[in-house]
Amino acid sequence: MMDPFEFRAGRAPLLVSMPHTGTHIPEALARRMTPAALAVPDTDWHLERLYDFLEALGASVLVATHSRYVVDLNRPPDDANLYPGQDTTGLVPLDTFHREPIYAPGEAPAEAEIAERVARYWQPYHAKLAEELDRLRAQHGRALLWDAHSILSVVPRFFEGTLPDFNLGTADGRSCARGVGEALLVVAERPATYRAVLNGRFKGGYITRRYGRPDERVHAVQLELSEATYMEERPPYRFRDDLAAGVRPYLRAMLERFVEIA
C-alpha cells in the first residue's frame, strides 16, 4: 500500500505543504469511479516541479501521494463548509469542479467508508504536519507554514471570470502575524504581468486556518496559484518550462520574504 505522503526534512523554519498534488487512487476504489474522475482533473499539477528551489531554501516539504478524490486533506474532518453560503467540494468529493460525477451510480461512499479514509489517509498527513511544525518551532523559535495550491484559471462553479494569478490567503489576517500577508502581496504585485489578491475568493483552507497560530509563533499562508501561469490547463496538463521560468522567481521571492519577516 502506498504511503499517504512523502516528506523531506529541511534546515530552515519553513514547511511547505502540498496536499492536492497526489494522483494515486487505489485500484479497488478506481473501479467504482467514472472516467471523468480517473483523469483527476482537479489535481494541483506539477507543484513539486514548479517549486524546485525548496531544497536550496532549506525548507521541509510534505507532499500528498493520493488524489483529493480519495479524501481532501484541506477540508475539516467534520466536513464543515469553509466558505458558508458558497459552493465547494467536500471532505470526500462526489463531483469534480465542473460538476461531473466522481462515482458510478450506487458507488458513492457511505459514512463508515469516509471515516475509514480519514483514518487511513487524512490523519497521518495531519499528524506529520503538526509534528514537523512542532519540531521547527522547538528548533528555531518559530514555524512557518506555506500551503501550496494551484487551480484552473476559470472555474465558474467557484468564481466569476478569470482568477487572479496569485491568490494569497491568511484567513483575513488571523493565520499569521500582522502585516505578513500585506508584505507578501507587495512581492506578488511587483511583476506587471501577473495579478495578485490577498484574502479574495481563497482565504486559506482548513490547513491554513487550523495550524496558523501567530500568538504561538506558528505562521501560516496559503497560495492558490492560477495554473495558467505555468502549465497547459487542458489534458494532458503539460508543464510549460517557458511559463514556469517567469513565475518561479516570484514564488521564491515570496517564500524568502515570508521567512524574513514572519
CA atoms of 185 and 106, how far apart (whole Å): 46
Average pLDDT over residues 111-117: 97
121 domain-assigned = no
CB 60 within 8 A of CB 132: yes
Q: Among candidates 156, 130, 153, which has minimal Cα distance to 213?
A: 130
CA atoms of 201 and 167, how far apart (whole Å): 8
- Number of structural domains (the chain) is 1
Res 163: pLDDT: 96
Q: pLDDT tens, 180-207?
A: 999 999 999 998 899 999 999 999 999 9
169 domain-assigned = yes
The size of the chain, in residues, is 262
Res 237: pLDDT: 97
Res 262: pLDDT: 84
122 domain-assigned = no
Percent of the chain at pLDDT exceeding 70: 100
Would you place residue 81 in the very low, low, confident or very high pLDDT band (cuts 50, 70, 90)? confident
Q: Domain range holding 197? A: 5-24+40-70+127-261
pTM: 0.96
pLDDT at 86 over 90: no
pLDDT at 124 over 90: yes
Give 69's DSSP letter: T
**Which residues, other chains included, contact 39 with Cβ-Cβ below 8 Å and sequence gap of 6+?**
235
80 domain-assigned = no
Which three three-digit cell numbers place residue 170? 491568511
Res 60: pLDDT: 98
148 domain-assigned = yes
15 domain-assigned = yes
Average pLDDT over residues 132-141: 98
229 domain-assigned = yes
217 domain-assigned = yes
Average pLDDT over residues 20-41: 98
Q: pLDDT tens, 45-54?
A: 999 999 999 9
Would you place residue 87 in the very low, low, confident or very high pLDDT band (cuts 50, 70, 90)? confident
